[in-house]
Amino acid sequence: MNEPIRVKGLTKSFGKGAALVRAVDDIDLSVAQGETVAIMGPSGCGKSTLLHMTGGLERPTSGSIMLAGQELTELGERGLARLRRTAVGFVFQAFHLVDELTARENVELPALLAGQSPRAARQRALELLARVGLTDRASFLPAALSGGQRQRVAVARALSNNPLVVLADEPTGNLDSAATLDVLRLFDSLHAAGQTLIIVTHDPRIAATADRMFTMRDGLFIDETRLTGGTSGNLGALAGLPELKG
């Protein structure tokens, strides 16, 4: 499918009357297969809400969301749950790993919830952990992992059921610079493998990995930038090479 995600006129409001707040205000968004899209904006601009609605974690006030050929607003809770099992993988800022499960058990969870046999789930989990480079940490508890490692486990978990799209909400929000690089690398490899990604972030470094970038403020998209394509400057000038005057 060429456009796995199509959002039209999406709105989410909270409160009533004078206290009405439009967290997301009439947003249109289309994401192509294999594309990485970044949504940037200050805190409270509604980007997380937009992401949650796209993944069926939150119900919109109005508008339509087409995901994997299904209209999300027409689905009941069971339908949404099925979608989350098969078409969507989530990565959260707070990781949301289960504290008392090992890395492998955490990654197994979506497969088990989808009804796979324990053995198949275990197999898949080990595969994914290898893919994110954490094979030797498979039997560690989250408390024994660094922030970057935890987030990588979360990414592995999100990939468990071969989702159509991975939705990441501030994936590096709780990470330091080195861990951010790890996650950056991971997203890059996902992109190279053709995974569709929507990333919400206020870290420009993560946003810069995207093909397209949207800037959001007060519930609206105020800018769309295509990041692929040549730059006007060169790295040397940028790096201050002419300053190293001879």
Partner 1 sequence: MGRMLIIARLAAKDIRYRPAQAILLLVAITAAAAVLSLGLVMRGVTTQPYQQTRAATRGPDVVADLFFGPSNPGSPCLGANCSSSTSTSGDAATLAGKASALEHLQGVTGSTGPYQIAEAVITTANGHRAGVVAEGRDEAPAAIDQPLVVSGTWIRPGGVVLERTFAEALGVSVGSKVTIAGYPYTVAGIAVTAAEPPYPNLCYATGGISACGALDITSRDFGMAWVTRADAATAAKASGMPLMYLMNLRLSDPSNAEALVSAYNNSKQGPTASTSLVAWQDIATADGLLIADQQTVLSVGAWLAALLAIASVAVLAGGRMAEHNRRTGLLKTVGGTPGTVAAVLLAENVVLAVVSAVAGLAIARLAAPLITNPGAALLGTAGAPSVTAAIAAEVLVVALIVALAATTVPAIRAARRSTVSALADAARTPRRHALMVALSARLPVPLLLGVRMATRRLRRAFLSMASIAVTVAGLVAVLAFHTLADHVIDNAMTGSIGLTDPVVQRDSQMLLVLTIVLLALSTLNAISATWATVLDTRHSSALFRALGATPRQVSAGQIMAQVMPAIPGAIVGVPLGILLFWAANGNGGLNWPSPGWLVAAVLGTLAAVAAMTLLPAWLGTQQSPASVLQAEMA
Partner 2 sequence: MQEVILAMLAKEPSHGYELRSRLRGALGPVGEAMNAGQIYVTLGRLEKAGLVACELEAGQGPDRKVYMVTAAGQQRVAAWLAEVGWPGPAPTEFHLKLAAAAAGRLADPVALVDAQRRELLRLLRDTQRAALDEPPGTDAGLLLEGVALRLQADLHWLEACERHWLKRAGGKT
Note the residues at the interface with partner 1 (CB under 8 A): 48-49, 52, 57-59, 77-78, 81-82, 84-86, 90, 92-94, 96, 98-101, 105, 108-110, 112-115, 118, 121, 141, 143, 157, 161
Is 194 an interacting residue with respect to partner 2 (CB under 8 A)?
A: no
Choosing among partner 2, partner 1, none, which partner's interface includes residue 113 (Cβ < 5 to 8 Å by kind)? partner 1
Maximum distance among all alpha carbons in the chain?
Answer: 69
In eight-state DSSP terms, residue 114 is T
Instruction: Considering the complex, state which of residue 32 and residue 227 has its C-beta at the smaller distance from partner 2.
Output: 227
CB contact set of 48 (below 8 Å; sequence gap of 6+): 169, 170, 200
| Minimum separation from the CB atom of position 48 to partner 1 (A) | 7
| Minimum separation from the CB atom of position 206 to partner 2 (A) | 9
Contact region with partner 2 (CB under 8 A), list: 49-57, 80-88, 117-125, 228-236: 228-236
Structure token pair of residue 108: 């197994």
Best CA proximity match to 169, nearest among 149, 197, 143, 205: 197
Is 235 an interacting residue with respect to partner 2 (CB under 8 A)?
A: yes
Contact status, residue 222 vs residue 45, Cβ threshold 8 Å: no
Instruction: Considering the complex, state which of residue 161 and residue 180 has its C-beta at the smaller distance from partner 1.
Output: 161
Is 177 an interacting residue with respect to partner 2 (CB under 8 A)?
A: yes
Is 22 an interacting residue with respect to partner 2 (CB under 8 A)?
A: no
Report the distance separating Cα 213 and Cα 229, nearest Å: 13
Choosing among partner 2, partner 1, none, which partner's interface includes residue 181 (Cβ < 5 to 8 Å by kind)? partner 2
Contact status, residue 196 vs residue 38, Cβ threshold 8 Å: no
Specify the DSSP element, H or E, that contains 197: strand 196-201
Report the distance separating Cα 194 and Cα 98, nearest Å: 29
Choosing among partner 2, partner 1, none, which partner's interface includes residue 236 (Cβ < 5 to 8 Å by kind)? partner 2
Burial label, 126 (beta-carbon count in 10 A; 0-12, 13-18, 19+) = middle
Instruction: Considering the complex, state which of residue 84 and residue 150 has its C-beta at the smaller distance from partner 1.
Output: 84
Q: Taking the CB of residue 57, how many other CB atoms lie within 10 A of it? A: 16
| Residues forming a β-bridge with 88 | 165
Q: Which residues bind partner 2 (CB under 8 A)?
A: 42, 177, 181, 184-185, 188, 203-205, 207-209, 213, 223, 225, 227-229, 231-241, 243-246
